[in-house]
């Protein structure tokens, strides 16, 4: 009788589609790391470019630092589907096809990502996946896709939860484990419903390569680093292993100063954000490589607890950020948002840093911690002494604190 009941339950699940009600678990236990084509190349993507980016990710040391995904954003598609309704790449720009490109990337020890959209057309005007979810998911599986960024253009009349769940189910039915990146810009609060749908979700509109600005495009805007940081200050409780708040791709190595790049990268690591580089990996300066591959800063982002950091204090243009880490350790980031250097004086014994979400506390009045400067890569004493530093314009000092044995 019990076996008959289980068989009946399985049949019900199969025919109702409920068997596909969950995403692939365990694919993003730490925030995904990789590269995406959009920030630098927009629609100017082709096979040679993507191959060169994969090669550069390996030769630059980024792969060794933990970066894995090579993601082609919008505009890789042909203008129309084939006669059977299959999505296909532009034959002139991707003459070898996506399976061959995925193989090229996989052979190098990397993973292959692609882009689509929940609407009938993508943001760039190419065929979207609306009403083709199952067909597209099977195609991606056949190609060897490991990561799908799923956008939200041309979706009038659609419900975001239903649309993203539909593609999640299609990916599941196709059988190939795929990291699913929800990109509906935070419009319908995906942090409240995305945990069982995707592995990460965009929290804002598009980023742009400036430290603190807004770029008006008419009916939409793109946002500088600090604008994005300030936009979502109360959603960190929704992030964790396999489900991440995504403040968008990195602008490191594009047009900002070295200090601004360092601050940007540090804040993304403090926020446990996905680290998807958006620069030209082929032409990086050493300073850019050093930022993107700083192993100690990356370790803060990739900490296994998966706790998103928070702004502890803000006075004028000086901020203190904190992030609980495994083994009772902490990361503390001092940020100077101003246009002049600022002196930071921080008395550990008089500042108990309490995390309102986890209820953990960094109390240097009762526990002494050793301090390591992450960017300078050196030990700088303990919390028994007051911390003092002059922080340059739009820059940070990031410290890792460990209980003194």
**Three-state SS sequence of 28-72:** CCCCCEEEECHHHHCCCCCHHHHHHHHHHHHHCCHHHHCCCEEEC
CATH number of domain containing 166: 3.20.20.70
Shared domain check, 350 and 321 = yes
Q: Is 14 a domain residue? A: no
At residue 21, the pLDDT reads 58
Question: What residue numbers bound the domain in which 339 lies?
Answer: 310-403
What is the rounded distance in angstroms from the CA atom of residue 336 to the CA atom of residue 81?
50
Shared domain check, 356 and 287 = no
pLDDT of 210 over the 70 cut: yes
Active site residue 146: no
Q: Is 15 a domain residue? A: no
- Select from 258, 278, 301 the last residue of a domain: 301
Query: Rounded mean pLDDT of 245-262?
Result: 98
Among 127-131, 232-236, 243-247, the range scoring the smallest mean pLDDT is: 232-236
Which residue among the candidates 73, 74, 146, 151 is catalytic per the annotation? 151
Map residue 224 onto helix, strand or coil. coil
Starting at the edge strand found earlier in the chain, the sheet holding 244-246 runs 244-246, 200-202, 179-182, 147-151, 111-117, 69-71, 33-36, 275-277
- Select from 301, 327, 351 the last residue of a domain: 301
Q: Is 4 a domain residue? A: no
Shared domain check, 328 and 266 = no
Q: Is 31 a domain residue? A: yes
Residue-wise pLDDT tens digits, 139-192 = 999 999 999 999 999 999 999 999 999 999 999 999 999 999 999 999 999 999
Map residue 360 onto helix, strand or coil. coil
Shared domain check, 213 and 292 = yes
Q: pTM for the complete prediction?
A: 0.94
As for how many domains the chain has, the answer is: 2
At residue 20, the pLDDT reads 42
Shared domain check, 126 and 77 = yes
Do 70 and 53 form a contact (C-beta atoms < 8 A)? yes
Shared domain check, 149 and 34 = yes
Do 122 and 129 form a contact (C-beta atoms < 8 A)? no
Shared domain check, 206 and 83 = yes
Query: Rounded mean pLDDT of 301-308?
Result: 98
Shared domain check, 343 and 203 = no
Active site residue 151: yes
Shared domain check, 323 and 290 = no
- Select from 301, 330, 357 the last residue of a domain: 301
What is the rounded distance in angstroms from the CA atom of residue 403 to the CA atom of residue 389?
22
Shared domain check, 387 and 246 = no
pLDDT of 16 over the 60 cut: no
Q: Is 9 a domain residue? A: no
Mode of pairing for the β-strands spanning 275-277 and 310-315: unpaired
Q: Is 277 a domain residue? A: yes
H or E element in which residue 361 lies: strand 361-362
The neighbour count for residue 311, using CB atoms within 10 Å, is: 18
Shared domain check, 153 and 209 = yes
Q: Is 185 a domain residue? A: yes
Crossing angle (nearest 10°) for helices 47-59 and 98-107: 10
CATH number of domain containing 387: 2.60.40.1180
Take residue 164 and report the two structure tokens written for it.
Answer: 């993203």
Shared domain check, 182 and 67 = yes
Query: Rounded mean pLDDT of 299-323?
Result: 97
- Of 392, 69, 401, 73, the C-alpha closest to 261 is 392
What is the rounded distance in angstroms from the CA atom of residue 300 to the CA atom of residue 323?
8
Which residue among the candidates 206, 209, 280, 301 is catalytic per the annotation? 206
Q: How far apart are the first and last CA of the chain?
A: 60
Query: Rounded mean pLDDT of 367-392?
Result: 98
Crossing angle (nearest 10°) for helices 133-143 and 98-107: 50
At residue 405, the pLDDT reads 73
């Amino acid at each position: 009788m019990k076996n008959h009941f289980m068989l009946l339950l399985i049949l019900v699940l199969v025919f109702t589609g409920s068997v596909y009600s969950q995403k692939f678990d365990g694919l993003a236990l730490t925030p995904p790391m990789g590269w995406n084509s959009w920030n630098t190349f927009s629609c100017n993507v082709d096979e040679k470019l993507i191959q060169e980016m994969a090669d550069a990710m390996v030769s630059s040391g980024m792969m060794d630092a933990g970066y894995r995904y090579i993601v082609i954003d919008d505009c890789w598609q042909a203008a129309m589907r084939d006669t059977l309704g299959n999505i296909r790449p532009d034959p002139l720009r991707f003459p070898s096809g996506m399976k061959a490109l995925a193989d090229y990337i996989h052979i190098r020890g990397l993973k292959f990502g692609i882009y689509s959209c929940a609407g009938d057309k993508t943001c760039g005007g190419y065929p979207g996946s609306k009403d083709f979810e199952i067909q597209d998911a099977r195609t991606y599986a056949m190609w060897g896709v490991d990561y799908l960024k799923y956008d939200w253009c041309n979706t009038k009349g659609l419900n975001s939860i239903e649309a993203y769940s539909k593609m999640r189910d299609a990916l599941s039915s196709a059988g190939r484990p795929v990291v699913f990146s929800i990109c509906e810009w935070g419009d319908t609060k995906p942090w409240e419903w995305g945990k069982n749908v995707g592995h990460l979700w965009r929290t804002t509109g598009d980023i742009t390569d400036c430290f603190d600005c807004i770029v008006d495009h008419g009916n939409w805007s793109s946002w500088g680093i600090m604008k994005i940081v300030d936009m979502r200050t109360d959603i960190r409780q929704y992030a964790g292993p396999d489900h991440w708040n995504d403040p968008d791709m990195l602008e490191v190595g594009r047009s900002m100063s070295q200090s601004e790049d360092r601050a940007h990268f540090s804040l993304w690591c403090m926020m446990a954000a996905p680290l998807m580089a958006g620069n030209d990996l082929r032409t990086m300066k050493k300073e850019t490589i050093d930022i993107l591959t700083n192993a100690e800063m990356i370790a803060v982002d990739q900490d296994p607890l998966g706790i998103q950091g928070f702004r502890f204090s803000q006075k004028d243009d000086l901020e203190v950020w904190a992030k609980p880490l495994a083994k009772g350790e902490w990361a503390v980031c001092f940020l100077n948002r101003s246009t002049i250097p600022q002196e930071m004086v921080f008395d550990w014994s008089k500042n108990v840093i309490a995390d309102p979400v986890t209820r953990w506390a960094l109390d240097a009045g009762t526990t002494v911690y050793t301090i390591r400067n992450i960017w300078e890569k050196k030990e700088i004493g303990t919390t028994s002494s007051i911390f003092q530093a002059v922080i340059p314009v739009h820059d940070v000092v990031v410290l890792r604190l460990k209980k003194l044995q």
